[in-house]
């Protein structure tokens, strides 16, 4: 089994930043890479902000915050990531983008480097197939926001060996996470259940059954959900919701997974949710306002 000391994270967006955060806090040295170097600077600032928030809440000591930040080092190229004991891809939820990253990383890998993808829906078997080590490839699906959410889905591809799986479980637990094993089927467990619910809420809006406010209020107070499904879709990113629905629809060939036309329209408009300041809510003012 690989003794993990250094973790390479590819993608410095919301998920990559969160993964780097929890890895550094748990004592791992972290190499953070992104195709856009400016994102690494933004990511480090976000990690500092989130760690400071944890300090203020008494969750983390300030000395641990300082030590964690010191463990994260920008990696200008994939050649630096290749030297890590574990390389985690956390790029956008697009299969071809992810495959291209693993192809580009391939020449720089050490013999013992483990590979993982943070994909929330895409086949681990297919992603592993473009590498020279499918037996040392696994899915590590962290939940968003990573520092707060306790679950990591562990997904084995058809070729993933037992040692890789055991190492991945031990690694996730060393971060203070609880693991759930998921088989390599489209969207795994969490998103197989969650994202169709969001899509159904969008259909409910599309068909005029309720307004944005009525649907979210009904699910928060009627089902005791902490966040309404449309608000949650905005938080996840409507482009990501659409991508996962397409993976389900194409992978399972069942009409119940057909993406709602209204979801497609919002994504085409660039109304992707919180990250775009508009989705099912408009976030440009002091308080979010429903857009329908």
The mean pLDDT of 128-132, rounded to a whole number, is 97
* pLDDT tens digits along 185-194: 999 999 999 9
Question: Does residue 153 have an active-site annotation?
Answer: yes
Residue among 153, 199, 231, 243 flagged as catalytic? 153
Last residue in a domain, options 138, 161, 182? 182
Question: Residue 169's domain is classified under what CATH number?
Answer: 3.40.50.720
Q: Provide the CATH number for the domain around residue 236.
A: 1.10.1040.10
CB atoms within 10 A of CB 192: 18
Are 173 and 264 in a shared domain?
Answer: no
147 and 226 inside one domain: no
Secondary element (H or E) of residue 179? strand 178-182
Answer yes or no: is 189 within a domain: no
89 and 66 within one domain = yes
Residue 19 is assigned to a structural domain of this protein: yes
Q: How many domains does the chain have?
A: 2
List, in order, residues 6 or more apart from 278 with CB less than 8 Å away: 270, 271, 272, 284, 291
Residue 224 lies in a domain: yes
Does 164 have pLDDT greater than 80? yes
Encode pLDDT of 237-271 as tens digits: 999 999 999 999 999 999 999 999 999 999 999 99
Average pLDDT over residues 163-187: 97
Residue 21 sits in the same domain as residue 156:
yes
Categorize the per-residue pLDDT at 1 as very low, low, confident or very high, splitting at 50, 70 and 90.
Answer: low
For the stretch 22-75, pLDDT in tens is: 999 999 999 999 999 899 999 999 999 999 999 999 999 999 999 999 999 999
Q: Among 182, 206, 239, give the residue marking a domain's end.
A: 182
| Residue at 21 is within a domain | yes
Strands 289-290 and 86-89: unpaired
Note if 95 is an active site residue: no
Q: Which of 117, 120, 121, 243 is catalytic?
A: 120
pLDDT given for residue 40 in this prediction: 95
Q: Contact 109/81 with Cβ under 8 angstroms?
A: no
- Say yes or no: 245 and 162 in one domain: no
> Residue 124 falls within a domain, yes or no?
yes
Residues 7 and 31 sit within 8 Å (Cβ to Cβ): yes
Residues 138, 11 share a domain: yes
Please indicate, yes or no, whether residues 252 and 282 belong to a single structural domain of this protein. yes
121: helix, coil or strand?
A: coil
Are residues 127 and 219 both part of a single domain? no
End-of-domain residue from the set 182, 209, 239: 182
Per-position DSSP letters for 12-78, written without gaps between them: -SHHHHHHHHHHHHTT-EEEEE-SSHHHHHHHHHHHHHHHHHHHHTTSS-HHHHHHHHHHEEE-SSH
pLDDT at 182: 96
**Residue 76 confidence class, pLDDT cut points 50, 70, 90:** confident
Same domain, 143 and 262: no
φ, ψ for residue 142 (rounded to 5)?
Answer: -80, 150
Q: Quick check: 90 pLDDT over 70?
A: yes
| Catalytic (active site) residue 287 | no
Query: What is the residue-averaged pLDDT of the chain?
Result: 96
Q: Is the model's pLDDT at 179 over the cut of 80?
A: yes
For residue 1, is it within any domain? Answer: no
**Contact, 137 vs 127, CB < 8 A?**
yes
Whether the pLDDT of residue 2 is over 80: the answer is no
Residue 190 covered by a domain: no
Catalytic residue among 17, 21, 141, 231: 141
Q: Are residues 40 and 133 in the same domain?
A: yes
Q: Assess whether 93 carries a catalytic annotation.
A: no
Q: Which of 117, 191, 199, 243 is catalytic?
A: 191
For the entire predicted model, the pTM comes to 0.90
Whether 187 is in a domain gets the answer: no
- Kindly state whether residues 19 and 132 are assigned to the same domain: yes
Domain containing 147: what range?
A: 6-182
User: SS3 for 223?
Assistant: coil
* Same domain flag for 51 and 96: yes
pLDDT at 278 over 80: yes
């Amino acid at each position: 089994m690989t003794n993990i000391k250094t973790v390479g994270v590819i993608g410095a967006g919301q998920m990559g930043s969160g993964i780097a955060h929890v890895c550094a806090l748990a004592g791992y040295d972290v190499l953070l890479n992104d195709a856009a170097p400016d994102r690494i600077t933004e990511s480090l600032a976000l990690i500092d902000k989130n760690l400071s928030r944890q300090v203020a809440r008494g969750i983390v000591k300030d000395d641990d915050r300082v030590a964690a930040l010191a463990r994260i080092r920008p990696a200008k190229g994939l050649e630096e990531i290749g030297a890590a004991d574990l390389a985690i891809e956390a790029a956008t939820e697009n299969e071809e983008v992810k495959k291209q990253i693993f192809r580009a990383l391939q020449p720089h890998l050490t013999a013992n480097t483990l590979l993982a993808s943070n994909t929330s829906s895409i086949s681990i078997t297919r992603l592993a197939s473009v590498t020279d080590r499918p037996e040392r490839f696994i899915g590590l699906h962290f939940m968003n926001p990573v520092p707060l959410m306790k679950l990591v889905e562990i997904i084995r591809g058809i070729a993933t060996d037992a040692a890789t799986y055991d190492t991945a479980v031990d690694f996730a637990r060393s971060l203070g996470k609880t693991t759930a094993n998921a088989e390599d089927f489209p969207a795994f467990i969490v998103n197989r259940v969650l994202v169709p619910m969001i899509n159904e809420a969008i259909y409910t809006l599309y068909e005029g059954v309720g307004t944005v406010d009525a649907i979210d209020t009904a699910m928060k107070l009627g089902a005791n959900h902490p966040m309404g499904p449309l608000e949650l879709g905005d938080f996840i990113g409507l482009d990501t919701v659409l991508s996962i629905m397409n993976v389900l629809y194409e992978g399972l060939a069942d009409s119940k997974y057909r993406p709602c036309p209204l979801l497609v329209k919002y994504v085409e408009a660039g109304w992707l949710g919180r990250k775009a300041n508009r989705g099912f809510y408009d976030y440009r003012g002091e308080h979010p306002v429903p857009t329908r």
